[in-house]
Amino acid sequence: MQTVSVPPAPGDGPLGRMPIPGHIDPVPVPRSLKPRADGRIDLLGLSRADLRMALETAQLEPKQAKLRAKQLWHWIYNRGVTDFSLMTDISKAMQPWLAQRFVISRPEVVEAQVSTDGTRKWLLRSDDGQDYEMVFIPDADRGTLCVSSQVGCTLNCRFCHTGTMRLVRNLEPAEIVGQVMLARDALGEWPSQPEGRMLTNIVMMGMGEPLYNFDNVRDSLKIVMDGDGLALSKRRITLSTSGVVPMMARAGEEIGVNLAVSLHAVTKEVRDEIVPLNRKFGIEELLQACADYPGANNARRITFEYVMLKDKNDSDADARELVRLIKQYKLPAKVNLIPFNPWPGAPYECSTPERIRAFQEIVFGAGISAPARTPRGRDIDAACGQLKTAAEKKSRAELDRLAEEKQAALD
């Protein structure tokens, strides 16, 4: 029978801290392990290496730490277990030792709503009291989870309700991966399996600009794509950016998921207005970065998101210019036409169905796929561009002032 040497609990050593055993300093870890308020380390969102190092730092012998890290990875990401006492291949002596030092979290659910069309939205709260949202959109042949990467947003896209919020902070890997775990909990999809799941796709299109939280998004998606854990194929994950050009190549090389670009306009004047990031990284620079995106081909096309705004970006001339640009840069592309989803104080209206259809026909006629997205979850403010957790209403003057502050920070 194997005996397990269980190290003492925190506080047993001098001054309440345990000395580092042996004469070898711990290997530096790429991610600092920040204890929660209760002193425990959250294992959710840690890479395999960080998980092992967390155990070693807690004075588990390296060989033992390697074994336990492998077991924990399986229980956390393949089976969705959060209680150490349910991990049947970990000894009963080790289970309370783990529970004293570590926790496997889930985001706190403040509110869960279900739309008449089956769309689900969760308002989540972090340990430091910050709110963010995630949305699950079920379809006949797929189920897509829209994941947030920031609390608030760095950008100020004028048609987007989330863009009227200040950026509070980046979400940590545990908070990003936690959204996927929570959705799996709600859908009853444990243990993880590749066939027959309801949650089949992930889009990084929730609150925030993912490429302004690159490291945390990359590390989170690597966990989601790990074949021994959540096991979602990179072909089923899409990262959406408003055009953070310097980070796009890195996203292709280091993450390798599908790319979606919030284009929304084809002229400098209009895109400067509705996607102010365009003043920093212009359309030509953005489209060249798309042309250079690693892995883009006809089988893995770049998606251009194009919100339809009445009398702003929806003319026949706009459609023809969109076609010209895609062909000029030889982009393997599809265009998602998104009817504008209104919100209180929005400065735009949605294009008419007839105008959307006319725009669509021009793009289709040039041999480019251009489906018009059916708005989902509008009745619970879960549709594209509607995510916003702040309860208070802002006046138009306040929104304009916030927009100016954000743009000054970007310039």
Per-residue pLDDT tens over the stretch 121-171: 999 999 889 999 999 999 988 999 999 999 988 776 766 776 567 788 999
Instruction: Output the DSSP codes for 106-157.
Output: --EEEEEEE-TTS-EEEEEE-TTS-EEEEEEEE-SS-EEEE---EES-S---
- Residues with catalytic function: 133, 384
Instruction: Answer for the pair 340, 349: CB distance below 8 angstroms, yes or no.
Output: yes
Per-residue confidence band for 186, with pLDDT thresholds at 50, 70 and 90: very high
Instruction: Report the distance separating Cα 371 and Cα 364, nearest Å.
Output: 9
Per-residue pLDDT tens over the stretch 78-132: 999 999 999 999 999 999 999 999 999 999 999 999 988 889 999 999 988 999 9
pLDDT of residue 24: 41
Per-residue pLDDT tens over the stretch 296-354: 898 899 999 999 999 999 999 999 999 999 999 999 999 999 999 887 778 889 999 99
Q: What is the pTM of this model?
A: 0.84
Distance (Å) of CA 69 to CA 56, 75, 108, 120 = 10, 10, 25, 33
User: What burial class does residue 269 get, using C-beta atoms within 10 Å of its C-beta: 0-12 exposed, 13-18 middle, 19+ buried?
Assistant: exposed
CB atoms within 10 A of CB 294: 14
Instruction: Report the distance separating Cα 315 and Cα 306, nearest Å.
Output: 13
CB atoms within 10 A of CB 336: 18
Instruction: Answer for the pair 72, 50: CB distance below 8 angstroms, yes or no.
Output: no
In which region does residue 272 sit, left (phi positive, over 0), alpha (psi from -120 to 50) or beta (all else)?
alpha
Instruction: Answer for the pair 121, 377: CB distance below 8 angstroms, yes or no.
Output: yes
Distance (Å) of CA 58 to CA 106, 351, 376, 389 = 22, 59, 47, 37
Instruction: Report the distance separating Cα 313 and Cα 322, nearest Å.
Output: 10
In which region does residue 319 sit, left (phi positive, over 0), alpha (psi from -120 to 50) or beta (all else)?
alpha
